[in-house]
Amino acid sequence: MFILRFFLAALVAISVIGTAAYFLSKSTRFQVFGELVSRGSSQHPCVALTLDDGPSPKYTAEVLDVLANFDAKATFFLTGQAVVAHPALVADIAAKGHEIGNHSFSHPRMVGMSQSRIESEVESTDRAIRAAGYTGPLHFRPPYGKRLLGLPYYLKKTNRLTVLWDIAPETDPTNNSDATEITRRTLADAKNGSIILLHVMFVSRAGSRAALPEILAGLQAKGFTFVTLSDLLQHKNCVST
């Protein structure tokens, strides 16, 4: 009887710990170590548009042209593999006044990963971005937003900011590729200081690319300014349009 009770108690404990770890790994509001940001100040009518993955030789130029048409600045969280493959695109992003962030080298789920592997994923991407000529701030966004203990610990140890989001209009699995719905969700949810997550660098993200000009036009019509992540956090260049 004692062994049975012990076994059942152990199962309950494992279940509770597993559930807690799952919710912690995906939380956009809390992590155990280091500084996390998912939204900027609510005092100013500006938002940060963050674009994950890439750069892509097929779509980066198109995205940059759309941003230029609206005089909007964005923050591109790039993967090291793509940076190494396309350094000229990285330089072009930076030359047009956008910010660049680190999105790991190979885009793995960085949960349960060794410190040496975390170091490799983070530092090799930093080096690749710097080698492409970018000299601005380098914040980090975990792939899929996933992290538990090891990654936040490493980021804290190396004085890096973890950047997440408060608006992710593509995450509804029932309708995550429809441009109209992506635009609607973004316009409905945006607030002063919002950090918006979009993916526009792959062929499968046609809906998000189509939504991009509608999002820019719609939020600017509401009086929002699009600024880089660092400017959002430092309350710079946040003026009504």
Question: What does CATH list as the number for 31-234?
Answer: 3.20.20.370
| Cis peptide bond upstream of 55, omega within 30 | yes
Residue 199: active-site member: yes
pLDDT at position 2: 47
Which of 52, 53, 126, 231 is catalytic? The answer is: 52
pLDDT in tens, 206-241: 999 999 999 999 999 999 999 999 999 998 777 654
Query: Over the chain, what is the mean pLDDT?
Result: 88
| Prediction pTM value | 0.86
Which of 44, 86, 139, 199 is catalytic? The answer is: 199
pLDDT at position 30: 53
Residue 52: active-site member: yes
Is the pLDDT at 43 greater than 90, yes or no? no
pLDDT in tens, 87-139: 999 999 999 999 999 999 999 999 999 999 999 999 999 999 999 999 999 99
Domain boundaries, the chain: 31-234
Is the pLDDT at 164 greater than 90, yes or no? yes
Question: What integer is the mean pLDDT of 43-56?
Answer: 96
